[in-house]
Chain A
């Protein structure tokens, strides 16, 4: 079993968000807050996709000390809406894992599908899958079940739970749904108005 992942932030500051000091351990942490509070920006800063102040460490290695693309391989953002560049779905995967597709309720034939013909729900599940095959240590999910029906949502939640347990990985999950947050368990983080901007609060453990 992999060693427990640890993501540590010191004075991380982006957009209108006040500096964040935080330590995330293995397991699921959820994040919510009003729209425009900077949830996506915060995730992008964690993945170093957005210029930001402050420092971050993953498993004791500092963000600035790793080439950015290697950091993103370990701290991986799955955007709310994924985009596709290849002709076939399979072109976007470092490794074709048939069991992963099945776990998401998709047929193996999906490797050969054209991305242009995917439904929004299929796109969302495949976006998670193409990140999971890269086995990141920290998974940043931006409303990953927004376009899914109850059944697909449950499957995706189970899959992420299995992944974080098996890999001892960190999952930071943006969710608007209080029931989902309770179901996922773990620490709940919230962005709340503070002065001119927003501040990160720990709501429940």
Chain B
């Protein structure tokens, strides 16, 4: 397999494009230059560090540092879900709902893929575990963040209707069901769209990467399919778990709507 190595100049060229985009944003007054540069800088530092960490990690097979890294990834993802909410749940729930649902979905789907499908030895071999978990966490994170945002925003907007339905004696599950359906739909749309256009319009990131790194296209396609299906399952189950816990948390034991449990209401 021929691997074409990227030099500093190649990356510098791509980075220059981002700088030009930031300059354009400044010139046109679009106001995104700061966020764009900050995000680019973050990705530079984070991916550089990850490269270093993985290099060290791949060189050994002690499980402890590997699991520690997965823990850090989960914590950052949970923090990111919380950061994307306008109406956050107060207290530990704000981070707990995202962390719990991502743990349940991403970790179990990764475990399933590794133990049943890929079967590396040992099963936690970091060359497989870390990339798989990363792809799953990244995607379930978006699905869960969108779903939660949709649920809490609707609950705030529709508060008078929800209160009226409760007053008429409708059980809380019945009152929240249409909101939860809509939130679930919103959370799943990105992955449904991704699957619909995969290979026709877009060449998904992982497949592109593998082909660029010299893998045969058919092998790359099979891996990409595996990843897409796992992401769909992980996102769906993760969003379902998060929305179930979150909608339960919107009501108390006496089925009262408790928007006071959200920030910024």
Contacts and interface: CB of A to CB of B under 8 A. Distances in A.
Contact of B169 (A50, A69, A79, A82): A69
Contacts, number: 53
A116 interface: no
Interface string B34-52: 0000000000000000000
A130 interface: yes
A36 interface: no
A85 B170 contact: no
Given A48-B254, A51-B252, A73 B164 contact: no
A72 B161 contact: no
A83 B169 contact: no
Interface in A60-82: 67-70, 72-73, 76-79, 81-82
B164 A69 contact: no
Contact of B160 (A67, A76, A83, A134): A83
Nearest to A136: B169
Contact of B167 (A67, A70, A77, A84): A77
A85 B161 contact: yes
B185 interface: no
A49 interface: yes
A47 interface: yes
A70 B170 CA distance: 8
Contact of A50 (B158, B253, B256): B256
B255 interface: yes
A48 to B, nearest CB: 5
Contacts of B256: 48-51, 68
Nearest to B251: A68
Nearest to B158: A85
A83 B165 CA distance: 9
B17 to A, nearest CB: 49
B255 A68 contact: yes
B199 interface: no
A131 interface: yes
Contacts of A130: 168
Given A68-B254, A69-B171, 6 more contacts: A48-B254, A49-B166, A51-B252, A68-B253, A77-B167, A79-B164
26 contacts: A48-B254, A49-B163, A51-B252, A51-B254, A51-B256, A67-B255, A68-B253, A69-B166, A69-B169, A69-B171, A69-B172, A69-B255, A72-B166, A72-B167, A72-B168, A72-B169, A73-B168, A76-B167, A76-B168, A77-B167, A81-B160, A83-B161, A83-B163, A85-B164, A130-B168, A131-B168
What 3 A-B pairs come out closest when comparing CB atoms? A73-B169, A68-B255, A68-B254
